[in-house]
A and B are shown apart, each in its own frame.
Chain A
Amino acid sequence: MSDLKTVGTTVPRKDAMEKVTGAAEFIEDRYMGPMLYAKMKKSTVAHGKIVRIDTDKAEKHPGVKAVLTGKDYPNMIGLYLIDRTFLAVDKVRFWGEPVAVVAATSEKAAAEAVELIEVEYEELPGVFDPREGIKPDAPIIHENLGNYEIVPIFYPKPGTNIANHFKIRKGDIEEGFDQADHVLEKEYYVPQMQHVPIETHKAAVQWSPDGKLTVWSTAQSPNVVRQLLAKSLDIPMHKIRVISSYIGGGFGCKAGASIEGLLVPIAQKYPGHIIRIVFDREEDMQGTFTRQALFSKLRTGFTKDGRITALQYEMIWDGGAYTEYGVNIVRAAGYSSTGAYDIPNVKTDSYCVYTNNSIGGPVRGFGMCEMQWGIERQIEEVAKHLNMDPLEVRLKNGMKRGSTTASGQVVHDVDYEKCLKLVADKIGWGKQESGKDGKLRGKGIAGLVKCPAQPSNAASSAIIRINEDGTAHVMVGATEMGQGMLTAISQIASEALHIPVDKIDIKVPDTDFTPYEWQSVGSRITYTCGTSVKRAAEDALGQIYCIAANLLEVPQEDLSYDGKKVYSNKDPNIKATIREIADSCKKCTGEGIAGPIIGRGSFVPTNMTNLDPETGQGNPGLFYCFGATGVEVEIDPETGVVEILQLASSIDAGKAINPQLATVQLHGGTIMGLSTALYEEVRFDKGIMLNRNFTDYKIATFDNVPHIDSFIVETPETNGPYGARGIGEQPMIGVAPAIANAVSDALGVEFNSFPLTPEKVWRALKDKK
């Protein structure tokens, strides 16, 4: 692969000029036409029956065009489990749930009208802790769970709050514990977090007089939005067009379908108008997906030489009020429940439990940050118990080529060992430094692994149009939310087509014009969309050769193509430029050869299977991406403040399509991990989100981010495009446990939950004394 021209090189981002000049168009930047502005009336109780909604005054308020309640619009929607309505119907299940929506000629009129809507609730006992919610006598949040439509790979328990119970039964857990010399059991907790992309959720819809619905959305997946709306609203797909502009950060919160459908009945009432909703920061924090909290219990059996023989993992997830998407996070955490380690005997029970907290849903890592927190913390404790080097325990049990995951899937193309050793070497592993001024220093390492969590048939496709002058348009359905998709995909197309990357145009998706892509989630786009594009390029290339063969009257096998021209291997003077091939498509006699060149490519996984309902065994992973994080910390034992002195992050990208962008992505994930490790926690009081703004939901800023040493490992992924695999989420996973391990190393105290706020660290030290 050493002869690659574009792949593996750093080219400037495709969206760079637009983004540094303010020209990049996000959805709120677009002038759209006659507008109506929508605002939501939100529930003031976390769990309650709606006794009465009076919209009279709101409807009469000047400027108001429409008021919609759940009664008028009971359509249901959901990705995996259809358990949601756009507006609450009969009851509300979380504080802040939309119960009505107003559209008016100005934002101000809409906001004023919302205040005029009167809602009376009969409050019901709430469930705010999934460990309570799982109990048989807990108040039931979804009475109709048994009637909900669900993808049959999930296992809800009607009559309870359990929306999914996922099981792993690998090997023989009893025997595994019998083989163990020691057994450790600990409980862990990871709180909710919020993605807080700087751009909040926004959507606009328009109903045309001929019955076509156009949706502009911050959605990470226009195709899924189209699919779910088509089903929910019973509109054929060709009558729905979804456009995702540039997205100001996603991190999972804009996956699936969220707010787009809210406005459709209003749009239908006012054809031609554009109805727009813009979530403010508070609405964005409490009304959209949060990362599900996890309460877990982990039991590890291990031999005296540090070999893990058995692992029993119970995970109780706070699914929140609706778990249409969350059920799959619970499943993914279940089938990956040994983390980056090869453990022969595993018993996992992962429960998704409804509560009256904000909706749980996908966040960068998709359950892996939460689940591997327990794994990586417990490995540390195993090492401590045996007085062994934690790195050695990781290396001894870490996955290698041919290892099996919790679901029994064999992993290929793995060099976890290299990832671990790189970060260990960088932070001077094994060398103890002493702190200054009474401060204490420690070092910590954590490993990580993640595969995309996607249905086994999640597909992807691409179209490449070669223009008359030999330049090209690449059309894909993936979205650009910062991850660099436009650039990486262009580079893959450029490599395969031999057309320079600056002669390739690529844009954000529009379902009327760009081909299908399941979702831009799960760190999958480089692999799935990249493969489709490579195939489309090869298809286009085939057409170029075919036309050239006809034009030059030379057999295809005797032709070569250098990106500029196709020529005969026997006589290089017999040649046609790409321009001639793409444009004329005709012989000198004037006879036509072929029409314009349009390459098509598609991809659907062939290596994935369903999982056995009882044992969870099977192949859920499209590919597995490994990595590791190493940190050195210095702690002020009096204040509990943790300072990060060194932060090293490695990720096995297979092949970095664009090393600079891969590094930025690696840094970004590492920083988000650092931020959650030290600061981030959504705080609830009986379902009310207390810190729903940046004043009290703090995220890392410049001051908090040290220099990061990054390592892009390249163990080629056999079936990835040019050996590449996705790395978007992974760098985040190892940071919290690595920091906790380092703090633990420095202070000799255990941490079973994060964030490691100054107060928490101080408290841990105090409790130790």
Chain B
Amino acid sequence: MSDKIKIKFTVNGDSEEREAVVGETLLKFIRDELNLTGTKSGCEIGECGACTVLLDGKPVNSCLVLAVELDGKELLTIEGLSKNGELDRLQQAFIDHAAFQCGYCTPGMIMAARSLLERNPNPNDSEINKALSGNLCRCGAYQEIRDAVKDSASK
């Protein structure tokens, strides 16, 4: 046990080949192996959404995915959202609306919201609520997040 498996994948646009420990979560792999610490751990049982990343374009709770499953897939984390120092418009909208306080849930929140906008470029409040209700924000920036998502959609 604790074997390693060689996996090939792309992360934030770059191809990578690494070894993943069997039994390790994608969350741990992203943070400890790829050193992409923007993705956060909050509950490790898929209830808080802080570890949300996009796997082949779909949001997943990386605490409930095995690292070895990354093989052959495309991973997008918060670090991959801005290009050449230029923020994604959703990131900018989060700043404009002050759609966070402590910022710990923010990376997961932005990834989940980014994916919502891919599926539904013009979501209303209720659609935003449904799409993001698995992402907890204890500071309670829900109203600002809704505004940021809508604002970003309208641009």
Interface residues of A (CB under 8 A from B): 12-13, 15-26, 28-29, 31, 195-200, 246-251, 280-281, 481-484, 660-661, 664-665, 667-672, 675, 693-695, 699-703, 705, 707-708
**A21-B82 in contact (CB<8A):** yes
Q: Which of B31, B92, B100, B143 touches A482 (beta carbons < 8 Å)?
A: B100
Say how far A21's CB is from chain B's closest CB, in angstroms.
6
**A668-B91 in contact (CB<8A):** no
| A13, B44: Cα distance in complex, Å | 29
B36 within 8 A of A: yes
Given A280-B44, A693-B47, check contact A22 B140 (CB 8 Å).
no
Closest to A702 in B: B129
6 of the cross-chain contacts (CB-CB < 8 Å) are A249-B101, A665-B101, A669-B140, A693-B45, A699-B138, A705-B140
B25 within 8 A of A: no
| A702, B131: Cα distance in complex, Å | 9
* Most A CB within 10 A of own CB, among B102, B106, B144: B102
Residues of chain A lying within 8 A (CB to CB) of residue B45: 281, 693-695
| A705, B110: Cα distance in complex, Å | 19
Q: Which of A20, A484, A700 touches B101 (beta carbons < 8 Å)?
A: A484
Say how far A199's CB is from chain B's closest CB, in angstroms.
5
Q: Place the interface of chain B in its size category.
A: 35 or more
| A608, B94: Cα distance in complex, Å | 40
* Most B CB within 10 A of own CB, among A199, A247, A660, A693: A199
Say how far B145's CB is from chain A's closest CB, in angstroms.
8
| A667, B129: Cα distance in complex, Å | 17
Q: Interface-forming stretch among B3-11, B64-72, B73-81?
A: B73-81
Say how far A677's CB is from chain B's closest CB, in angstroms.
13
| A750, B146: Cα distance in complex, Å | 35
Say how far A460's CB is from chain B's closest CB, in angstroms.
22
**Interface of A (DSSP majority class):** loop
**A660-B98 in contact (CB<8A):** yes
Say how far A691's CB is from chain B's closest CB, in angstroms.
12
Say how far B115's CB is from chain A's closest CB, in angstroms.
15
B103 within 8 A of A: yes
Say how far A357's CB is from chain B's closest CB, in angstroms.
22
Say how far B138's CB is from chain A's closest CB, in angstroms.
5
Ranked 9 nearest A-B pairs via Cβ? A22-B38, A248-B104, A482-B102, A482-B101, A671-B140, A19-B103, A694-B47, A22-B78, A668-B140
Residues of chain B lying within 8 A (CB to CB) of residue A481: 101-102
**A703-B104 in contact (CB<8A):** no
- In residues 113-147 of chain B, which contact A (Cβ within 8 Å)? 128-130, 132-146
| A748, B83: Cα distance in complex, Å | 58
Residues of chain A lying within 8 A (CB to CB) of residue B31: 28-29
* Most A CB within 10 A of own CB, among B77, B95, B139: B139
Residues of chain A lying within 8 A (CB to CB) of residue B78: 21-22
Say how far B72's CB is from chain A's closest CB, in angstroms.
24
**A703-B130 in contact (CB<8A):** yes
Given A26-B40, A199-B40, A668-B139, check contact A249 B104 (CB 8 Å).
yes
- Mask for B35-46, Cβ within 8 A of A = 1, else 0? 111111111110
Say how far A727's CB is from chain B's closest CB, in angstroms.
13
Closest to B128 in A: A702
Residues of chain A lying within 8 A (CB to CB) of residue B42: 198-200, 281
| A281, B48: Cα distance in complex, Å | 11
Q: Which of B38, B95, B137 touches A12 (beta carbons < 8 Å)?
A: B95
**B102-A249 in contact (CB<8A):** yes
Closest to A481 in B: B102
B87 within 8 A of A: yes
| A23, B107: Cα distance in complex, Å | 10
**A20-B98 in contact (CB<8A):** no
**B104-A15 in contact (CB<8A):** no
Q: Which of A26, A483, A701, A708 touches B133 (beta carbons < 8 Å)?
A: A701
| A476, B62: Cα distance in complex, Å | 36
Q: Which of A26, A31, A250, A664 touches B98 (beta carbons < 8 Å)?
A: A664
Q: Which of B95, B135, B140, B142 touches A17 (beta carbons < 8 Å)?
A: B95
B105 within 8 A of A: yes
| A660, B148: Cα distance in complex, Å | 14
| A15, B135: Cα distance in complex, Å | 21
Closest to B36 in A: A22
Closest to B38 in A: A22
Closest to B77 in A: A22
Residues of chain B lying within 8 A (CB to CB) of residue A17: 87, 95
Residues of chain A lying within 8 A (CB to CB) of residue B36: 22
| A675, B31: Cα distance in complex, Å | 31
B54 within 8 A of A: no
Say how far A74's CB is from chain B's closest CB, in angstroms.
33
B26 within 8 A of A: no
**B110-A20 in contact (CB<8A):** yes
Closest to A199 in B: B104
Residues of chain B lying within 8 A (CB to CB) of residue A247: 102
| A232, B129: Cα distance in complex, Å | 48
Say how far B54's CB is from chain A's closest CB, in angstroms.
13
Residues of chain B lying within 8 A (CB to CB) of residue A699: 136, 138
Say how far B98's CB is from chain A's closest CB, in angstroms.
5
Q: Which of B39, B132, B137 touches A198 (beta carbons < 8 Å)?
A: B137
B50 within 8 A of A: yes
| A281, B138: Cα distance in complex, Å | 14
| A20, B40: Cα distance in complex, Å | 13
**A16-B104 in contact (CB<8A):** no
Residues of chain B lying within 8 A (CB to CB) of residue A705: 140, 142-143
Residues of chain A lying within 8 A (CB to CB) of residue B130: 702-703
**B47-A695 in contact (CB<8A):** yes
Closest to B126 in A: A703
| A664, B98: Cα distance in complex, Å | 7
| A200, B136: Cα distance in complex, Å | 14
| A23, B106: Cα distance in complex, Å | 11
With contacts A247-B102, A481-B102 known, what are 16 further pairs, Cβ within 8 A?
A12-B98, A20-B91, A20-B92, A20-B100, A20-B110, A21-B81, A22-B107, A195-B138, A248-B102, A249-B138, A482-B100, A694-B47, A699-B136, A699-B138, A702-B146, A703-B129
**A664-B101 in contact (CB<8A):** yes
| A26, B39: Cα distance in complex, Å | 11
**A701-B136 in contact (CB<8A):** yes
* Most B CB within 10 A of own CB, among A195, A664, A702: A702
Residues of chain A lying within 8 A (CB to CB) of residue B144: 664, 667
**B104-A281 in contact (CB<8A):** no
Residues of chain B lying within 8 A (CB to CB) of residue A672: 138, 140
Say how far B97's CB is from chain A's closest CB, in angstroms.
8
Residues of chain B lying within 8 A (CB to CB) of residue A246: 102-104
Q: Which of A15, A251, A695, A708 touches B138 (beta carbons < 8 Å)?
A: A251
Given A664-B141, A671-B140, check contact A483 B101 (CB 8 Å).
yes
| A670, B144: Cα distance in complex, Å | 13
**B103-A24 in contact (CB<8A):** yes
**A702-B98 in contact (CB<8A):** no
* Most B CB within 10 A of own CB, among A12, A16, A250, A672: A16
| A250, B139: Cα distance in complex, Å | 9
Residues of chain A lying within 8 A (CB to CB) of residue B103: 15, 18-20, 24, 246, 248, 482
Residues of chain A lying within 8 A (CB to CB) of residue B37: 22, 25-26, 28-29
| A13, B77: Cα distance in complex, Å | 23
**A198-B47 in contact (CB<8A):** no
Closest to B105 in A: A198
| A664, B141: Cα distance in complex, Å | 7
| A708, B144: Cα distance in complex, Å | 11
Closest to B142 in A: A705
Closest to B41 in A: A28
Residues of chain A lying within 8 A (CB to CB) of residue B107: 22
**B98-A482 in contact (CB<8A):** no
Given A280-B44, A701-B136, check contact A21 B91 (CB 8 Å).
yes
Residues of chain A lying within 8 A (CB to CB) of residue B146: 702
| A195, B102: Cα distance in complex, Å | 14
**A22-B79 in contact (CB<8A):** yes
**B143-A667 in contact (CB<8A):** yes
Residues of chain B lying within 8 A (CB to CB) of residue A197: 102, 104, 138
Residues of chain B lying within 8 A (CB to CB) of residue A19: 100, 103, 106
